[in-house]
Structure 1
Amino acid sequence: MGPTIHDVAKLAKTSKSTVSRYLNGQQVKKATQEALEKAIKELNFHRNANARRLVMDKTYTIGIVIDDISNIFYSGIIKGIEEIAGKNGYNCIFLSWTSNYDNEISFLNLLYEGQVDGIIMVSFRKRSEKDLLKIREADYPIALIGDHGELDGIFSVDVDNAAGIADVVHYLHDIGHRKIAYISGPETVSASKYRFKGYKQTLEALGLEYNPEWVVESDWTNQGGYASIGSILDKSEVTAVVASSDETAIGALRRIQESGRYVPKDMSIVGFDDVTVSSWVYPSLTTVRQPFREIGKMAAEGLFRKIAGEEEEARSHLLKPQLIIRDSCGKLL
C-alpha cells in the first residue's frame, strides 16, 4: 500500500485536514505549503482518485462522444476541449459511435449512471428531432457541437456555415464574377443545408442570377468533386465555382485542369474547411477556415459552467469562420 495523507501530514508536521485542504486547491500558509510539497515529493505520494470522488461526489471526468474519432476535423475541437478540461482539473474519455448512428443518444446513460459529470456530443451529421428533444429534456450538463435542429433550449456550438459561404460569394463578386456555380454536400450533414443557404441568399442579396443548373451535388470527397463538376464545365458562361468542402474543390480542380482549362485564368474555384493540403495543391486553394479549437473551448466552457451549477443560457452559438485568400481565384476585368 502506498503512502497516505496521514503519512504526508506526519512528515510535514501538520494535520490531515490541512493536507486535504491543500490537495483540494485551498490556501494554506506558505511555510506549510513548502513542507507539504517536500513531503509529497519525498514520499512519492499520489492522491487516491476514488476517495476524492467519494468525498466530492464527482468523477472529475467528462465524456466526449464523437461520431467518427478518425475524422481529422475533430482534432482541433478535441484540443480545445482538453485545454479547458485541464484547467478545471478534469480528465476526458472519448467514445466513438461510428458503427451505429442511432446510438449517440445512448451515451446519456453515462450521465444517468454517474460515470461522468458531463458530456459533450460532437457531430456534424444531422440529429433527429427525437434525440434532440431527449437531450433538451435531460437535466444534466450536456453540450452539443454541430447540429441542434434549430431547437430552442439546447446549448450548442457550431461554425456559422452560411456566413462562411456568404463571404466567399461576396469575395468572388468583388473581383468581378457574376456567374457563380455551386457544388453542394451530402444531405446527411447539417452544414450542407446552411452552406447552400448562404450561397443562394447571397446571390439574391447581390442581385446575381441563381440558376439551378449551376448547382450540382457531391459527397465531399475528391472523387465526388471530380465527378460532379463535369456538368458545370459544359456551362461556358460560368466563371467561378464554390465547392462546399476542400476535398470536393480539390477533386474539381483536377477535373478542370484535365479539361484543358487553367485555374484561375479560365475558371476560379473556392473550397471550405482549409484542410492542410489546400495550401499545397496547385494553384493553392482559396477557402474558408473553421475555428475548430475555439468551438471546442466554447463548448467545454459552457459545460463546466453547467457542472458548477451556474446559470447557463441554453442557446446556439455560431462562431464566424475566416476567408483565406490564396491563388485559385482570378480577377475579371
Structure 2
Amino acid sequence: MGPTIHDVARLASTSKSTVSRFLNGRQVKKPTEEAIKKAIEELNFHRNANARRLVLNRTNLIAVVVDDISNIFYSGVIRGIEQVANGKGYSCMFFSWASNADNEISFLNLLYEGQVDGVILVSFWKRAPEHLKRIRETPYPVVLIGDSGGRDDILSVEVDHVSGAADIVHYLHGLGHREIAYIAGPDNLSANRDRFKGYSQAMRVLNIEINPEWTVRSNWSNQGGYEAMRQLLARQGFTAVIASNDETAIGALRAAQEHGLNVPKQLSIVGYDDITISDWVYPSLTTVRQPFLDIGIKAAEGLFHKIDGTEDPNAIGQILLKPRLIIRDSCGQRPPTR
C-alpha cells in the first residue's frame, strides 16, 4: 500500500484536514504549504482518485467520442476541447466508434455508469432521429459536434456550411463567372447537404441558372474528385468548378491540368476545408477554412456549463460558427466561354 494522507500530515507536522484543504486547492499558511509539498515529494504521494470521486461525486473526466480517430479534421477540434478541459482541471478520455461494434449512442453508458461527468459526441455523419431522441432524453451533460437533425432542444456546435458555400459563389460571381459547376459529396454527410444548399441558394440569389449536367458527385477523395472532373470535362461549357471539399478539388485540379487546361487562366477551381496540402498544390487552392479549434472550445464550454449547473436555459440549439474564405491562386477572372 502506498503512502496515505495521514503519512503526509505526519511528515509535514500538520493535520490531515489541513493536508486535505491543500490538496483540494484551498489556501493554507505558506510555511505549512511548503512542508506539505516537501512531504508529498519525499513520500512520492499520489492522491486516491477513486476516493476523491466518491467524496466529490465527480470523476473530473469527460469523454470525447469521435466516429474515426484518424480523421485529420478532429485534431483541431480535440485541441480546443482539451484547452477548456485542462483549464477546468479535467482530463479527456477519447473513444473512436469506427473500431467499435456499437455506434456512438452506446457511449452514453459512460455517463450512466458514472465513469465520466460529461460526453461530447463528434461526427460529421447524419445522425439517426431515434439516436437524437435518446440523446435529448439523457439526463446527463451531452453536447454534439456536427449534425443535430435540426433539433433546437439539443446543444450542438457546427460550422455554417450554407454561408461558407454561398461565399464561394459570390466570390466567383465577382470574378465574372456565371457558368459554375459543382462537385457534391456523399449523401450521408450532413456537411455535404448544407454546402450544396449554400451553393444553390446563392446561385438563385444571383439569378444564375444551375445546369444539372454540371452537378456531379464524388466520394470526397482525390480519386473521386479526379473522376468527377473527367465527367465534367466531357460536358464542357463551365468556367469555374466548386468542389465540396479540398481532396475532391485537388483531384479535380489534376484532371483539369492533364486535360491541358491552365488553372486559373482557363478554369477556376475552389475547394472547401483548407487542409494543409491545399496551400502546397500548384496553383495553391482557394478554399474555405473551418474554425476547428473554436468548434472544440465552444462545445467544451457548453458541456462545462451543464456540468457546473451554470447553463443558460436559453443556450440550447445549434451554435453555428462562421467559416472564412481563403483566397489563393486557383481562381481568376472569367475567361471567354470555351
For Structure 1 versus Structure 2, the TM-score category normalised by the shorter chain is over 0.9
Q: Which residue of 2 aligns with 1:285?
A: 285
Residues 227-238 of structure 1: matches in 2 within 5 Å?
Answer: 227-238=227-238
306-315 vs 190-199, greater mean Cα deviation: 306-315
CA shift for structure 1 position 116? 1.1
Residues 44-63 of structure 1: matches in 2 within 5 Å?
Answer: 44-63=44-63
94-103 vs 171-180, greater mean Cα deviation: 94-103
CA shift for structure 1 position 127? 0.2
TM-score (normalised: structure 2): 0.95
CA shift for structure 1 position 332? 3.1
Paired residues in the alignment total 333
> Following the alignment from structure 1 to structure 2, what is the Cα–Cα distance between the partners of residues 133 and 226?
39
Q: Which residue of 2 aligns with 1:113?
A: 113
Q: Which residue of 2 aligns with 1:159?
A: 159
Does residue 206 (structure 1) correspond to residue 211 (structure 2)? The answer is no
Residues 175-186 of structure 1: matches in 2 within 5 Å?
Answer: 175-186=175-186
Q: Which residue of 1 aligns with 2:323?
A: 321
> Following the alignment from structure 2 to structure 1, what is the Cα–Cα distance between the partners of residues 325 and 120?
28
Residues 235-250 of structure 1: matches in 2 within 5 Å?
Answer: 235-250=235-250
> Following the alignment from structure 1 to structure 2, what is the Cα–Cα distance between the partners of residues 177 and 102?
47
> Following the alignment from structure 1 to structure 2, what is the Cα–Cα distance between the partners of residues 182 and 260?
20
CA shift for structure 1 position 135? 0.3
Structure 1 unaligned spans of 5+: none
CA shift for structure 1 position 100? 6.0
Q: After superposition, give the CA deviation of every residue in 1:82-107 in whole Å (9 maximum; x if it has no partner).
A: 11111111121111111468621111
- Residues 302 and 311 in structure 2, CA contact (< 8 A), matched pair in contact too: no
CA shift for structure 1 position 50? 1.1
29-38 vs 255-264, greater mean Cα deviation: 29-38
Q: Which residue of 2 aligns with 1:147?
A: 147
Q: Which residue of 2 aligns with 1:88?
A: 88
Structure 2 unaligned spans of 5+: none
Letter in 2 for 1:112: Y
> Following the alignment from structure 2 to structure 1, what is the Cα–Cα distance between the partners of residues 120 and 296?
9
CA shift for structure 1 position 124? 0.2
CA shift for structure 1 position 228? 0.9
> Following the alignment from structure 2 to structure 1, what is the Cα–Cα distance between the partners of residues 194 and 282?
28
Q: Which residue of 1 aligns with 2:274?
A: 274
Q: Which residue of 2 aligns with 1:98?
A: 98
Letter in 1 for 2:131: D
> Following the alignment from structure 1 to structure 2, what is the Cα–Cα distance between the partners of residues 179 and 66?
38
- Residues 179 and 238 in structure 1, CA contact (< 8 A), matched pair in contact too: yes
115-124 vs 9-18, greater mean Cα deviation: 9-18
Q: Detail structure 1 runs of 4+ shifted over 3 Å in the superposition.
A: 99-102
> Following the alignment from structure 2 to structure 1, what is the Cα–Cα distance between the partners of residues 197 and 30?
60
> Following the alignment from structure 1 to structure 2, what is the Cα–Cα distance between the partners of residues 160 and 35?
54
Letter in 2 for 1:11: L
- Residues 67 and 101 in structure 1, CA contact (< 8 A), matched pair in contact too: no
Q: Which residue of 1 aligns with 2:311?
A: 311
Cα 1:183/1:319, change in 2 over 3 Å = same
CA shift for structure 1 position 139? 0.8
- Residues 9 and 19 in structure 1, CA contact (< 8 A), matched pair in contact too: yes
Q: Percent identity?
A: 65
- Residues 184 and 244 in structure 2, CA contact (< 8 A), matched pair in contact too: yes
Letter in 1 for 2:123: S
Cα-Cα RMSD: 1.5
Q: After superposition, give the CA deviation of every residue in 1:269-314 in whole Å (9 maximum; x if it has no partner).
A: 0001111111111111111111111111111111111111122422
> Following the alignment from structure 1 to structure 2, what is the Cα–Cα distance between the partners of residues 115 and 99?
20
